[in-house]
Amino acid sequence: MSGSVMLGESSSWSRALVNISPYTFSAIGIAVAIGVSVLGAAWGIYITGSSLIGAAIKAPRITSKNLISVIFCEAVAIYGVIVAIILQTKLESVPASQIYAPESLRAGYAIFASGIIVGFANLVCGLCVGIIGSSCALSDAQNSSLFVKILVIEIFGSALGLFGVIVGIIMSAQASWPAKPV
Amino acid sequence: MSSAFIGDETAPFFGFLGAAAALVFSCMGAAYGTAKSGVGVASMGVMRPELVMKSIVPVVMAGVLGIYGLIIAVIISTGINPKAKSYYLFDGYAHLSSGLACGLAGLSAGMAIGIVGDAGVRYFSHIFFYIISLIDLNKIFHFSFHINFYVLVFKFFYEDDRVYLYD
């Protein structure tokens, strides 16, 4: 029975939320973690790739060096995969009487928020790295001494995905389901 | 068993969402700032490659916003512990509002850094070029000091009036 031992739900938000299974939130969080991260990586790759291929028509020497930008975008997708796998190992089955217990609800919310954090942080990171990678390719085609300097900016951009992964993993440590009754 | 959990059941939802908002919106601002000023630096670097390393300042400023969001998100998420400390809806809403405050402020700061950094970096190349054309050849001995001084002085005095020296 939901809410049997808590102070009564005084707001309608609470009455709606306690009736949603924590597994719903967990599943959505895990899906968002990987799906939106891959969306960000793909977006970045196509932004970088189209500029790179266009610039390489006149300056073919830039192709092999500038694949690093594509690899930075790909790393964002890998972060999403790693966190999604970590989050799905945090799922535990609880007996039916415990599904709506406060601890399970909290675990479900933690996995949901962790997935949202990782997904959307990787989305913006992939976009950022993609845009900078495209200007890196274009400026490398003009002047090859610029490649390493613009790469420094790209490294700052890819740190954003790492922030998301760190917070996502710290938050997933909060996902402790109730222990099974003996 | 259930007395170990002190507080409202759904309060952690808002608390964790506050931590999420803090990080996600700050990262959006940091990404916008990094990307927009990075594009400006790359465009400017084609004409003046020696100024690129000095122009990385807006990118670093934007990266710091992501760190602010990270700190607040970690503080909020480690503060949600209903077993050790009571966690009512009040606490959940407080965490949500603090996360939104940090995140949305970071988003707006990042957008400002991006737009100003992009314009400033491109402006920096123009001003620098015309300062060099004005410097007397006798001052080559204190070349770099004077260039920096003039750039600072001209930027300070003229950025409001938008005086263009090449008219």
> d(Cα B120, Cα B118) in Å, to the nearest integer?
6
What average pLDDT does the segment B39-46 reach? 93
Subunit contact A17:B13, Cβ cutoff 8 A = yes
Distant-in-sequence, close-in-space partners of B89: CB < 8 Å, separation ≥ 6: A10, A11, A14, B8, B10, B11, B14
Q: Which of B12, B39, B66 faces A131 most closely, judged by CB atoms?
A: B39
Any domain includes B139:
no
| A59 Cα to chain B: minimum distance (Å) | 15
> Average pLDDT of A90-112?
92
Pair A147, A66: CB distance under 8 Å: yes
Chain B contact for A13 (CB, 8 A cutoff): yes
Q: CA angle, corner B29, sides to A146 and A108, nearest 5? A: 125
CA distance linking residue B149 with residue B128, whole number of Å: 11
Cβ-based contacts of A138 with chain B (< 8 Å): 42
In a domain, B42, yes or no: yes
Which tokens belong to B165?
């020296």
| Cβ within 8 Å, pair B23-A167 | yes
Count the Cβ atoms, other than its own, within 10 Å of residue B159. 12
Range of the domain at B30: 10-124
Angle (CA) A60 A53 B34, round 5°: 110
pLDDT tens per residue, range B52-69: 988 899 999 999 999 999
Q: How far is A165 from chain B (nearest CA, A)?
A: 10
What tens digit of pLDDT does each residue of B70-82 get?
999 999 999 998 8
Using a CB-CB cut-off of 8 Å, the residues of chain B touching A143 are 45-46, 49
Q: Structural domains in chain A?
A: 41-89+99-174 (1.20.120.610)
Which DSSP symbol is given to A181?
Answer: P
Of A128 and B127, the structure prediction assigns the larger pLDDT to A128
Look up the CATH number of the domain holding residue B42. 1.20.120.610
Alpha helices in chain B (DSSP H): 11-47, 57-78, 89-134, 143-158
Residue B5 — very low, low, confident or very high, per pLDDT cuts 50/70/90?
A: confident
Could you tell me the sign of the dihedral formed by the alpha carbons of B34, B36, B40, B43, in that order?
positive
How many cross-chain Cβ pairs, A to B, lie less than 8 Å apart? Answer: 175
Tell me what ipTM this predicted complex has: 0.90
Phi, psi of B81 (to 5 degrees): -145, 80
Asked if A163 lies within 8 A of B70 by C-beta distance, the reply is yes
Rounded-to-integer distance, Cα A80 and Cα A181, Å: 34
Residue predicted with more confidence, B97 or B83 = B97
Q: Does the residue B111 lie in any domain?
A: yes
**B20 and A110: CB-CB below 8 Å?**
no
**Residue B85: per-residue pLDDT:** 85
A110 Cβ under 8 Å from any chain B Cβ: yes
Contact of A112 with chain B, judged by CB distance below 8 Å, is answered with: yes
Using CA atoms in the order A62, A67, A73, A74, what is the torsion angle rounded to 10 degrees?
170
Mean pLDDT computed over B96-113: 94
CB contacts of A181 in chain B (<8 Å) are: 1
For residue A155, pLDDT over 90 is answered with yes
What is the structure's pLDDT at A104?
Answer: 92
DSSP B99-115: HHHHHHHHHHHHHHHHH
Contacts of B7 in chain A (CB under 8 A): 6, 102
CA atoms of A135 and A125, how far apart (whole Å)? 16
- Per-residue CA distances from A95 to A92, A111, A173, A180, B71 (Å): 10, 19, 21, 7, 36
Dump pLDDT digits (tens) for A25-72: 999 999 999 999 999 999 999 999 999 999 999 999 999 999 999 999
Higher pLDDT, B30 or B165: B30
Q: Which two tokens stand for residue B62?
A: 């934007």
Flag whether residue A131 sits within 8 Å of chain B, measured between CB atoms.
yes
Three-state secondary structure string covering A112-174? HHHHHHHHHHHHHHHHHHHHHHHHHHHHHHHCCCHHHHHHHHHHHHHHHHHHHHHHHHHHHCC
Say if the Cβ atoms of B89 and A120 lie within 8 Å: no
Interface contact flag, B35 A149, Cβ < 8 Å: no
The structure's pTM equals: 0.83
Location of structure tokens 């002085």? B153
Q: Would residue B146 count as lying in a domain?
A: no
**pLDDT(B129) > 60:** no
Q: Tell me, yes or no, if A146 comes closer than 8 A to chain B by beta carbon.
A: yes
Please give the pLDDT value at position B131.
44
Domains of chain B: total: 1
User: In terms of CA atoms, which chain A residue is nearest residue B20?
Assistant: A117
In the prediction, which pLDDT does B8 show?
A: 82
Any CB–CB contact under 8 A between B107 and chain A?
no
B88 found inside a domain: yes
CB-based contact A109 B41, cutoff 8 Å: no
Return all residues near B103 (Cβ < 8 A) that are at least 6 apart.
Answer: B21, B22, B23, B24, B25, B26, B69
Distance (Å, whole) CA B33 – CA B58: 7
